[in-house]
Amino acid sequence: MIEAYRREIALIGEENFAKLRAAHVYVFGIGGVGSFAAEALVRAGVGRLTFVDGDAVAESNLNRQLVALRSTLGKNKARVMAERARDIDPSCRAEAVEEFYNEATAEQFRFAGAACVADCIDDVSAKVRLLAAVRGAGVPAVSAMGAGNKLCGNAFRIAPIERTRECPLAKIVRRELRQRGVSGVLAVYSEEKPLTPLGMEGERRIGSVSFVPSAAGLLVAEAVVKTIIGQG
């Protein structure tokens, strides 16, 4: 498999690539942001990846989620991602946990020994619970903030969550983490002011397009890789 990663090794060096091959990374939430983060981590050569999501691919996911194809409708997102990862790199130890992270399932996850955790969960309470658990275990965490109701992929930034601005979700998560004494979370957030979705008649939902969640997901992967190789 070295040939597949030759160009990356030319950029980051054999020592840093070896760190990625030895790393275990969790990705929670395999949706619009998480699926792109997950695939970028596979293609970066991360040796072991655990994908966590209890949701199934739906037709409404086709506009923005990498795991969403006509052929995958109805299938669990984490399982689809793990199969995709093994197709890209058969040596990647890709695992699927077909559950949502919440109060009932949190105890099954032990993060000691993980190189990093990527949080791409939408639910605020689950996100805060996860970040508190990860940082409590002394493991680096990269957390994706809101990607909905945005049109500018180039407005995303990587920064400690204490330095985020404009993002309503980041404001809530920042406050909740501070109240719990949790620090050291790296956030991927947008400085674009959220738009008001026009929606369809009789509907109220968060709007999203193909190129915004994907941009956020690739930055999540960047932050994870740089954390692992010590360039974060």
pLDDT digit string (tens) for 127-186?
Answer: 999 999 999 999 999 999 999 999 999 999 999 999 999 999 999 999 999 999 999 999
Closest among 214, 201, 200 to 150, alpha carbons compared? 214
Q: What is the Cα gyration radius of the chain?
A: 17
Which residues have C-beta within 8 Å of that of residue 45, sequence separation ≥ 6?
A: 5, 8, 17, 20, 21, 89
Mean pLDDT of 20-41: 98
Which of helix, strand or coil describes residue 193? coil
Which position has the token pair 């409590």?
Answer: 136
What are the domain boundaries of the chain?
A: 2-229
pLDDT, tens digit, for every residue of 181-223? 999 999 999 999 999 888 666 566 789 999 999 999 999 999 9
Topology classification of domain 2-229: Rossmann fold (3.40.50)
- Cβ(65)–Cβ(55) below 8 Å: no
Q: What is the pTM of this model?
A: 0.96
Angle at 187 between CA 184 and CA 189, to 5 degrees: 160
Rounded CA-CA distance 142/157 in Å is 12
Mean pLDDT of 105-118: 96
Q: What percent of the chain has pLDDT over 70?
A: 97
Dihedral (CA of 115, 135, 224, 211) sign: positive
- Cβ(28)–Cβ(120) below 8 Å: yes
Question: 157: left (phi > 0), else alpha (psi -120 to 50), else beta?
Answer: beta
